[in-house]
Amino acid sequence: MSAALACAPLLAAHAHAAELAPERYTYLAHPRQDDSPDKREVTTAEIVTREAETIYRYDIRAADWRETGWIATGPGAVFRAAWREVWEDGALEEADTLYVEGARLVVERRTGGEVRVKAIDLPAGKPVAVDASALLFFRQLPLESPEKHEVFMVDFSQHTVNVDVRSRGLETVVVPAGTFGCYHLEVTVKVFVFRPKIHFWVTAEPPHFLVRHQGKRGPFTASFTTELTEIGGIGATGGDE
């Protein structure tokens, strides 16, 4: 099955997401060791729940590049499909499509005229999160419990890794958008002999949106600090410059 056919129903839902009243958030991120203006990134995100589907739309802008896309999940934050484009200096550098086909996750990457396709076997009985869909998965957890949850993570670059998610309890977090009571979630990435940790703070009250992040934004990215700067405002837009 082609990516276009696999994602057609989800693309239709994505196109009509603006008809609903989405959650909207704006974040400022920078490398943990470098807060210079040319290193900062501004992310706008919309989360729309439509019947039995939740769609996370996002747009990240930096000094010389932009990434935009969406991720769709079903009930229980079960991953369904995702799409993104990356632009550099106004030119489209790559486009990625991910979708579930049976017991496999199909990842298609387009760079220039080349298309690379990789099929990833999904582990039976283990939750799967793709990139920012982890934020939707967190909402399903009993956040008040310190119980460990193992998750199979996949990023847009076709990398996979197992992580453990554990709540470290309630904390008060101050960010530019205000002061929030949050659950501190610690994500341990299980790669080789290393166990790097990623930290997320999500609101204690539903819908448990992200307030602060420290560490990697995915299993294979650099370490960043991300903070909520605005609730509401202009949400993510489409993929054209």
Q: In 3-state terms, what secondary structure has residue 67? A: strand
Q: 10 Å Cβ neighbour count for 118?
A: 13
Does 43 map to a domain? yes
**pLDDT for residue 237 is more than 50:** no
Does 240 map to a domain? no
Assign residue 73 the CATH number of its domain.
2.50.20
Contact 186, 166 (CB under 8 A): yes
Does 88 map to a domain? yes
Does 56 map to a domain? yes
Does 241 map to a domain? no
Token digits for 13?
């839902």
Number of domains in the chain: 1
pLDDT for residue 139:
96
The residues facing 116 across adjacent strands are 109
Cβ-defined contacts of 41-45 (< 8 Å, 24+): 41/224, 43/226, 44/233, 44/234, 44/235, 44/236, 44/237, 45/132, 45/235, 45/236
* 5 or 68, higher pLDDT: 68
Measure the CA–CA gap between 37 and 30, rounded to whole angstroms.
Answer: 9
Q: What is the mean pLDDT of the chain?
A: 87
199 lies in which domain range?
Answer: 3-231
Measure the CA–CA gap between 215 and 109, rounded to whole angstroms.
Answer: 26
Q: Report the percentage of the chain scoring pLDDT > 70.
A: 85
pLDDT for residue 221:
65
In tens, the pLDDT along 72-122 reads: 999 999 999 999 999 999 899 999 999 999 999 999 999 988 999 999 999
Q: Report the percentage of the chain scoring pLDDT > 90.
A: 70
- Residue 14 sits at φ, ψ, to 5 deg, of -60, -40
Q: Report cis status (omega within 30 of 0) of the bond before 207.
A: yes
Does 238 map to a domain? no
Q: What is the pTM of this model?
A: 0.86
Token digits for 77?
């934050």
Token digits for 171?
């904390």
Does 239 map to a domain? no
**pLDDT for residue 2 is more than 80:** no
Rg of the chain in Å (alpha carbons) = 17
Confidence of residue 220 (pLDDT cuts 50, 70, 90): low
Half-sphere exposure of 241 (CA within 13 A, CB side): 14
**Torsion region of 137: left, alpha or beta (phi above 0 gives left; psi -120 to 50 gives alpha):** alpha
Position 197: which residue type?
K
pLDDT for residue 118:
94
> Can you say how many angstroms the Cα of residue 160 is from the centroid of all Cα atoms in its chain?
14
DSSP state for residue 10 in the 8-state scheme: H
**pLDDT for residue 15 is more than 80:** no
Going by C-alpha positions, the residue among 202, 105, 116, 115 that lies closest to residue 155 is 105
Q: 10 Å Cβ neighbour count for 109?
A: 17
